[in-house]
Amino acid sequence: MPTTPRTVLITGTSSGIGLAAAVAAARAGWRTVATLRDTARAGALREAAAEAGVELDIRRLDVTDEASVTAAVDGVIADHGRLDAVVNNAGAGHLGTLENDSMENIRNVMEVNFFGVLNVSKAALPHLRATGGRLITVTSVGGVVGQPFNEAYCAAKFAVEGYLESLAPVARTLGVSVSVVEPGAVATEFVNKIGVDLEAGLDAGPYTGALRRYIDRTVEQFKEGSAQTPAGAAEAVMTALHADRPAFRIQTTDWARAFVGTKLADTDGSAVQDLTTTWVA
């Protein structure tokens, strides 16, 4: 057992799953380093910590900036002496389809959701090796099942899952556990950050009808009461932190398990295509 409290670094903690996971980890006795790109947006995080009666070490970390990542990880080691777990939660949603989207937008989605995970994981791995630690990444059911108008987002999440699935057995040889957590719809601000004004008239050219049908369906999924709470999704992160032998792939609800299971059993792709086509047709 460590002689000092175990330390976890969590990215993207300004709201949603990251905020809930930071509070839950602190409640469970972890020394929790809660990071976010802009510490001026830490008000909700500080309030949640105060309500829970826990302390958080709140620091700036921009996952797309290697210097920021290095400074944050080095600072944790300098101040706390160890790093036992990392939770990659920072990410950004995006709606678009190839013909209408810009390559700049697509690259930005990959930068945050894929390369950002790699930046943090690469900096943390030497320290996780030293503690026999855990590398946990919040992906999405969209990291397994491609979804209409989420082409860039799903591509980034597919890339994360493929990279980490490949890394996991290598890291295990040196005592580091690698897991991905796959939420479905979560009632967070996420759906409000996808870059589409749902109140404005949509103009996606020939794709306008399909996009409207997709958005109508998605808004219903993400409405509070229909979607999982951030705290519920954070429970799966806690499972990955505490299980003796955490699974590589952890879904957060029965719905997510069934949805991912459809893809994993779909050897010719027809089951997924039949399903997702109904979202836009």
Q: Where are the alpha helices (DSSP H) in the chain?
A: 16-27, 43-52, 66-80, 103-110, 116-131, 151-172, 208-222, 230-242, 254-264, 270-277
What CA–CA distance (Å, rounded) separates 96 from 190? 15
What tokens does 160 get?
Answer: 């994360």
Is 207 designated active site?
no
Cα–Cα distance list, 200 to 151, 195, 196, 197, 242 (Å): 22, 12, 9, 5, 45
Torsion over CA: 163, 277, 251, 55 (sign)? positive
Q: How far apart (Å, rounded) are the C-alpha atoms in residues 202 and 210? A: 11
Among the listed residues 153, 163, 207, 214, the single catalytic one is: 153
Question: The tokens 């320290």 sit on which residue?
Answer: 127
Amino acid letter for position 276: T
Handedness of CA 223, 229, 230, 234 (dihedral sign): negative
Give the residue among 214, 228, 251, 201 at the shortest CA–CA distance from 20.
228
Under 8 Å between Cβ of 57 and 33:
yes
Instruction: Enumerate the active-site residues.
Output: 153
